[in-house]
Amino acid sequence: MTPFAKALTLAQLHDVAEYYASLPRASEGNAVVASSERGRQLAHVGRPQQGLPSCELCHGARGEGDGPAPALAGQPQGYLEKQLKGWRAGGRREGPDFLMSLVSSKLSDRDIGDLAAHYAALPARQLADAAPKASAPGAGNGANHDR
């Protein structure tokens, strides 16, 4: 995805984000995803006695993403589970801090499921909150943008 995403202008990125945000939210087996209290506890507190930090230290208090850490709120539960298991197994590419492999190595399958359920049940950040509008002064690359 990176080569394709890098080739897009800011306006095109907004269009793609708006399109995906407009799609109906996928549900797990046509049931609304329910938050996990255990997942919420792991997300907000972690397990300090085992060296497991809270997710919110990097991903924000509501999973909204913070700096280089991506937003988790509203992501599909299956996607989040797959990513965490991929880091734990060493099959997912690591970021510059190599933190996710270490964190995920401390998570059981149940932990991963509970965290994924918690974040999947949270509302996703709205596009207006995610980035400046392409039409805002100083935004975009100056290219003409027609829909």
Element (H, E) at 29: none
Q: Is the pLDDT of residue 82 over 90?
A: yes
At 96-136, the pLDDT tens digits run 677 899 999 999 999 999 999 999 999 887 644 444 444 44
Write the single-letter amino acid at 92: R
Write the single-letter amino acid at 9: T
- Does residue 21 belong to any structural domain of this protein? yes
Instruction: Give me the pLDDT at residue 31, please.
Output: 42
Residue 74 is given by DSSP the state: T
Instruction: Give me the pLDDT at residue 4, please.
Output: 80
Q: Is the pLDDT of residue 95 over 70?
A: yes
- Does residue 141 belong to any structural domain of this protein? no
Structural domain harbouring 47: 2-130
Per-residue pLDDT band for 30 (boundaries 50, 70, 90) equals: very low
Scan for tokens 């945000």, then name that residue: 21
Share of the chain above pLDDT 90, in %: 43
CATH of the domain at 103: 1.10.760.10
Q: Based on the structure, what is the number of domains in the chain? A: 1
Nearest to 64 by CA among 136, 127, 139, 140: 127
CA torsion sign for 10, 11, 15, 21 is positive
Instruction: Give me the pLDDT at residue 137, please.
Output: 42
- Does residue 147 belong to any structural domain of this protein? no
- Does residue 144 belong to any structural domain of this protein? no
- Does residue 88 belong to any structural domain of this protein? yes
- Does residue 136 belong to any structural domain of this protein? no
CA torsion sign for 57, 101, 116, 52 is negative
Residue 76 neighbours by CB distance under 10 Å:
16
- Does residue 110 belong to any structural domain of this protein? yes
Find the radius of gyration of the CA atoms of the chain.
17
Q: Cα separation of 105 and 103, whole Å?
A: 5
